[in-house]
Each structure stands twice: as structure tokens, then as C-alpha cells.
Amino acid sequence: MAIRKILLLYILFSSNLVLCQTLENYDLWLGYSKTENPELSREYQELFQFIYIENGNEILATAQKELIAGLEKILGDKPEFTTVQNSKNTVIIAKRENLDRSLAEKLGTDFNALGKDGFILKRTLWDGKQLTILTANEDLGILYGVFRMLHLLQTEQSLSEIHLVDAPKIDLRMLNHWDNLDRTVERGYAGFSLWNWQKLPEYIDPRYIDYARANASIGINAVSLTNVNANALILTPMYLEKVEALANVFRPYGIKVFLTARFSAPMEIGGLETADPLNQEVQNWWNSKAGEIYDRIPDFGGFLVKANSEGQPGPQNYDRTHVDGANMLAKALKPHNGNVIWRAFVYSEHDADDRAKQAYSEFVPYDGTFMENVLVQVKNGPIDFQPREPFHPMFGAMPKTPLMMEFQITQEYLGFSTHLVYLPKLFEEVLDSDTYREGKGSTVAKVIDGSLHQKKLTGMAGVANIGNDLNWTGHPFAQANWYGFGRLAWDPYLSSEDIADEWLRATYSNDPKFVEPVRAMLLMSREAVVNYMNPLGLHHIFDTGHHYGPGPWVSELSRPEWNPTYYHRANDKGIGFDRTPSGSNATAQYAPEVAKIFNNPKAIPEEYLLWFHHLPWDYKLKNGQTLWNGIAVKYQEGVDQVEGMIATWESVKPYISEEQFREVRMLLDIQLKEAKWWRDACLLYFQTFSKKELPDGVEKPTKTLEYFKSLKFPFAPGIRPRWD
């Protein structure tokens, strides 16, 4: 691609860039290369002597283009194509309707179970010939199957006895970009927005195509282009023309475009005096706007809406409900088969109760009243993308309403893109959590995939970590979070360990001497961050605004729930937020079986202890340590774990390029420095209440609490723009 030539020139003329970001990083997990295993190389050469692939629309053309590019690199030679399906040693790629009937029957698979996105990849004997068959019901299934087949080859898997039947368990697999029209990215730590609105629609950056390739390769089929803190201008003709251009780029990869809708748009760009969802003129305006968008983009996905949260306008401005607002937009989109995704992330200064309870209180009473084309999008936990949270109590509590998971892929509360944090481990923890809403085994995954309450409409969203940095995500290992999100959105029952293995082999090396230690490092990395930031259920003790670094002392902001002191409640008697019946009673929002565990400090998993309990400093943990010593030891353990990550990375240096090694090594140095910052600042602050010495084995701070309090970061990346 032309973009690779441009990037290569960029690297050659920038010595700093050679050390920091490599061309391999740009390729993501799609850096196809010649198979090094001689036995597999012979197998692949034999299997791919001839290829039959059906011709068709732009999606099939995309599949063929990707197949040719990938096989040429993996095989080391350009593949040959045939026009017949029954040649010896042929790979046949065709939809079921275009397969020979007897061959389709021989596959012995229920094609109905594949849906529109699933595929079959099978090696079979037919008419005396060994054939490799890739088939599906629809074109998009063929595209996904081609990407999966190339991934198997890239990661040196044998296809000699392959029998893979795979289909996504979730319908809408979506990235939420928090990109602003000025190209800043809220909570973005990988440069500016990919979308160059100034040059669109005429100029199509080749990166848009590679972005679409990457998403399609892991099954992502939808993207919301703009920030949930929305700008109404995106709905004006000038910008819709630009959105149309992006939709045209993404369509051959099976990706639908969504836009964030600012609720006050009828006033801001429509000239109306109100945005009341029950006002007929407002309804007419949205109906007209939907028609205008679909005239340009026939497969437009719909609207993503943040309303009545953090100052955003919404139906409550007019004494209406979330249902009133969501259903108004749903009616406008329904004739076009569009969907409304209404975010449940709400909290208000007018609600003096526990912030963790507000979303449940505002939405659960309205279960069953949203229109059928509305999904309610719920963050994985009840606060805000913390390093660890219990699962959100809304999951399973709205059996009549489709709930869509919202995960964070970008690392707002996880050290930004300078910390190595493998988030599929977090995603897996949440998805495996048991809500008990329909008895034991009622996991969050079953809520999301619709199987718990037989939902027809399902979805999972990830807040994107993608920017215009050469390596896309700022930290090369942050690519694993994008990849892992896509894989879990396809199948929420995959293990984070298997996903780590897939990503490492596709991105770096198939050598087990590299894969095994680095996979172990990935699986441990998220726990390390929890330990040096928010151990034992502590949460939201970040410095405010930018959320960069610790700020447990912050207490003077105008709204109580903006202050970290609101969440840890440290005093001379102890620490933690009492959410049991003796406190805010947030545990009552969970099923009784879960609430019983959370209410009991001796029964609750200790990783959630201080989330639900305020306990004395000398409270005895399960290991016999006092709470104070346990907190301090956890902070030290997090630092030690980062030092272990550095040792692991040093040990695998022989298996990667010098540039790849050096980039991650420098970032790990930053992570270690900031882990020590977190440890020292938090322990010094909490020590002012505990009045206890640090236990043996915990390093003593070299700076004072006053020093840590004095640190300011006015230009930390990813800060939310002001809307006043």
C-alpha cells in the first residue's frame, strides 16, 4: 500500500522514530510473513496449489484481495486460481448457495446456525479429492473466514484436519470513538483522531482502509465515529458528506457507521426553541434528519446517545424520561432499520445517594418500555472504568430490555498508553461474573449474548484506544486490547489466555520461548496495575480531570462524587465505602445470592473488600495481615510485578527486533517509575490516618506527601474538552 511507502520514508528520515515506533507496529496482527516451519510450509504449499474463490460484490472482492496479499507473503509465492471447484488439492471459497450441492451436503453442518456472519472451514474428501472448503451463508461470512484462515496460517497451525465452524454470539460488535471534530480525542493516548475532517470527503487516507481491515479481521462490524460528549455539527450536511465518504470505505469490510447524537441538536442546528422529545416539531426534525442521513448512507447503523450525564443535555431537561428520549429517536430510525444505543452512564449532582446506584435506579424501573430497536449500553462496572470493579448490577436486572456491554479499551484509569495492561483479562473477569438473576450460572456473558433472556438484539462496545500514532495505540501492547476486545465481542466465552497466545503469535513470534513467558506477563499485567493503583477494592482515587496519577487527597471539588475522598472515605477509624445495608445499601441492587456475599466482609472476595466495606485499619485479612499492612504489601507487590515484567522482557530480547525491544523497554521504565509514584503517594497519604509504620518488605518513600500533592499536569493527554 502507498501508506507503507510513506511510513518507510518517515522512518528513514526520523532517527527518533526508529527507536520508538517500528513499521511492524503499524501492521498490527496482520503482518503476514513467510512460514518458517519447514513441515508446515510444505503442507501449505500442497493445500494451496489451486484456489477457487467465487466472484461477487465488494465484500467478496475484499476477501479475495486480502487472501492474495496474505498468501503471497505466507507462502512466499503468488497463489494460482482455478475456475472450477473440483480440481485436485483445491481450496474452495464460496457461499453455500454456490457450492456443488453434494459438497454442501457432505459438510454436514447446520447452515442456519451460521447466521449471516458465520463460516465453515473444513478439510474433506469429496469425489476422490482432498479439498479445503471455506463456506458461509453470506458474503461477510466469507470475509471473516478468509481472515481466520490467514490467521491460522500466520500462527503456524496445521489445516490438514481442520474442521472449524464458527459464528459470532453477539450481533453488534462495535468500537466507540471518543473523537472530536478538532481531531482531539477524549481519553485518547495515541495521538490525534484518525478522521481528518478537513480533507474529507475528497481525500481518503490509506489508513482508513487499514483500520477497516484490522477491524474486519477480528469481527468488528460497527463504529461510532464521534465523541459521546457530542457536537451537533456532525449532523449537518457539511459533515454528513464526510461521514458518507468514511462509510463508503468501511462498507466493503462489513462495517456500519454510527454517529453520536447531541440531544439538543434540534435547537443548535435546527433552529427550534426546544428539544423536548414529546414535542411534535422536535419529533419531525429527527424524522427528517434520519431520512437525510439514510439518503446518503443506506446502511447507516443509527445513533449512540449520552444524555443527562456530566452536563450533557437530555430528556430530563424537560421532565421527561430516558424512555421518552430513546423512543423518540428509535421511531425516527425504525423505518430505516436503524438502532438507538442509549448509554446508562448517568450520575447527577442532584442525587445525594451513592453514585454507584444511580444508573440502576434510573433505568431498571423502565424495563420493557423501550422500543425494540433500542439497546441500553451499560459500562462493565457501576462507577467508571476503574482498574477493578464488581460487575454492574443492571446486568440481568432488565430481562425485557437488550443491554449492551461497554468496555474501555483505551486506558483512562490504567496508566494511559505508557503502561502495559492486558485488558482482556479484565473483560473476561466481568463476563464470567455470575449475576444469579436466573439462578446459578446466569453470567454477564449470557446477558450480553442474549441467551439468558432470549434477546434478539445484542451488542458489545469498546471505547477505542486508536489514534494517528504510527503504531495506532501508543503502546504496541495496547494493540492486544483492541484485538482482544474484537475476539470477545465475537465470542464472550473465549479465554484471555488463548487470546493472548493468538495475538502474540500473529504480532511478534511463534517461538514458544517468546510466547510462553510473554503470555504469562500479559496475564499478570492487569493485576499488577490494580495492586499499585487501587488494591483491595479501593477505587477512583485518581487525580481529577486528567486522571493521571494518584490524588487520594483531593476533597475540595464542587460535587462530592468528583472527589476521591468520596470513594475511599479514609479516616482515623479505617477506610472503604460502606455499601452494605448499614451504608448506602448498593448491595441490594444485586441478586440476593450476590448481595449476601458482598455484605459479608469474611465472604466477599478480598479484591472487592473496600468497594463494599469501611473497615478498621487493624481489621484482619484472610492471610492474617492487618488491613493497613495488607494495603501496603499490595502496593509493593504491584511495583515488584512491574520489575518482573521488565525482567521477562529482557529475557525475550533475542526473539524480536532491536527496535521492538527498545520501544517496550522504555515504556516499561516509565511504568515502573509511575508504579513507585502511586505506591509512595498513596501510602504516605493513608498513613496520615492509620498512624502506622510501613511493614517489612515495603520500600520507604524518598519524597514527601507535600511533594506529591504539589505535582500538576495541565497538559496531560486525553483531557475532556470544556463544553461551557
What total of structural domains would you count in the chain? 3
d(CA 485, CA 487): 5
Q: Are 360 and 398 in contact (CB under 8 A)?
A: no
Residue 80 is a catalytic residue: no
Mean pLDDT, residues 345-367: 90
pLDDT in tens, 583-608: 999 999 999 999 999 999 999 999 99
Question: How high does pLDDT run on average in the chain?
Answer: 95
150 in a structural domain = yes
| Residue 464 included in any domain | yes
pLDDT tens profile 426-458:
999 999 999 999 999 999 999 999 999 999 999
Q: Are residues 571 and 652 in the same domain?
A: yes
In single-letter form, the type of residue at position 690 comes to: S
Q: How many CA atoms lie within 13 A of 450 on its CB side?
A: 15
pLDDT in tens, 260-299: 999 999 999 999 999 999 999 999 999 999 999 999 999 9
- Contacts by 97-101 with C-beta closer than 8 Å and gap 24+? 98/54, 99/133, 99/135
Residue 52 maps to which CATH number?
Answer: 3.30.379.10
Return the higher-pLDDT residue of 4 and 10: 4
Report the candidate in 356, 699, 696 with the shortest Cα–Cα distance to residue 537. 356
| 723 belongs to a structural domain | no
**Banded pLDDT at 88 (limits 50, 70, 90):** confident
For β-strands 119-126 and 163-166, DSSP reports them as antiparallel
- Residues 549 and 627 grouped into a single domain: yes
- Residue pair 686/552 in contact (Cβ under 8 Å)? The answer is yes
Domain span at residue 73 reads 35-166
Residue 694 falls within a domain, yes or no?
Answer: yes
The answer on 548 and 634 residing in a single domain is: yes
- Both 162 and 208 in one domain: the answer is no
Alpha carbons 485 and 491: distance in angstroms, whole number: 10
Annotated catalytic residue, options 406, 412, 502, 578: 412
Higher pLDDT residue, 290 or 349?
A: 290
Asked which of 166, 199, 226 is the last residue of a domain, the reply is 166
- With a pLDDT cut of 90, the percent of the chain lying above it is 90
Answer yes or no: is 585 within a domain: no
**Judgement on whether residues 359 and 417 belong to the same structural domain of the protein:** yes
Q: Among 689, 671, 682, 676, which residue's Cα sits nearest to residue 705? A: 682
Number of residues written out for the chain: 724
Whether residue 240 is contained in a domain is answered as yes
Q: Are strands 119-126 and 302-305 parallel, antiparallel or unpaired?
A: unpaired
Interacting residues of 300 by C-beta distance below 8 A, sequence separation 6+: 247, 256, 257, 258, 259, 293, 294, 336, 338
pLDDT for residue 348: 76
Residue 30, domain member (yes or no): no
Reply yes or no on whether 244 is catalytic. no
Same domain, 473 and 544: no
If pLDDT is split at 50, 70 and 90, which confidence band does 20 have?
low
pLDDT above 70 covers a percentage of the chain that reads 96
Residue ending a domain, choose from 151, 166, 181: 166
Q: Which grid cell sits at 398? A: 432488565
Q: pLDDT tens across 193-216, in order?
A: 999 999 999 999 999 999 999 999
Task: Report CA-CA distances (Å) from 409 to 38, 88, 174, 486.
Answer: 38, 45, 12, 10
CATH number at residue 295: 3.20.20.80
Lowest average pLDDT, out of 88-97, 159-168, 484-493, goes to: 88-97
Active-site annotation holds for 696: no
Domain boundary among the residues 499, 522, 545 is at 499
List % helix, strand, coil for the chain (3-state, nearest 5): 45, 10, 45
- The type of residue at 448 is I
| pLDDT per residue as tens digits for the range 489-545 | 999 999 999 999 999 999 999 999 999 999 999 999 999 999 999 999 999 999 999
Nearest 5°: the CA angle 397, 399, 405 is: 70
Mean pLDDT in residue range 366-386: 98
Residue 686 lies in a domain: yes
Using pLDDT thresholds of 50, 70 and 90, give the confidence band for residue 238.
Answer: very high
Same domain, 177 and 149: no
Is the pLDDT at 723 greater than 90, yes or no?
no
Statement to judge: residues 657 and 639 lie in one domain: yes
Burial (CB count within 10 angstroms: exposed 0-12, middle 13-18, buried 19+), residue 369: middle
- Identify the helix (H) or strand (E) that includes residue 91: strand 90-95
204 and 306 within one domain: yes
Specify whether 252 is located in the same domain as 235. yes
Q: Identify whether residues 222 and 93 lie together within a single domain.
A: no
At residue 724, the pLDDT reads: 36
Q: Mean of the pLDDT values across residues 398-413?
A: 98
Q: Give me the CATH number covering residue 573.
A: 3.90.1330.10
**Same structural domain, 162 and 179:** no
- Of 48-57, 331-340, 463-472, 669-678, the range with the lowest mean pLDDT is 48-57
Q: Is the pLDDT of residue 16 over 70?
A: no
| DSSP state for residue 392 in the 8-state scheme | P
Q: Which of 662, 666, 641, 645 is nearest to 653 (CA)?
A: 662
Cβ atoms of residues 89 and 47 within 8 Å: yes
Long-range contacts at 606-609 (CB < 8 A, ≥ 24 apart): 606/536, 606/537, 607/388, 607/530, 607/536, 607/537, 608/388, 608/390, 608/537, 609/536, 609/537, 609/576
pLDDT(187) > 50:
yes
Q: Tell me the pLDDT tens digit for each residue of 468-482.
A: 999 999 999 999 999
Contact 54, 60 (CB under 8 A): yes
Question: What SS3 state is found at 606?
Answer: helix
Peptide bond before 402: cis, by omega within 30 degrees of 0? Answer: no
Residue 15: the pLDDT is 41
Residue located via cell numbers 482432498? 130
Please identify which of the residues 117, 139, 384, 543 carries the catalytic annotation: 384
Catalytic residue among 310, 372, 498, 669: 310
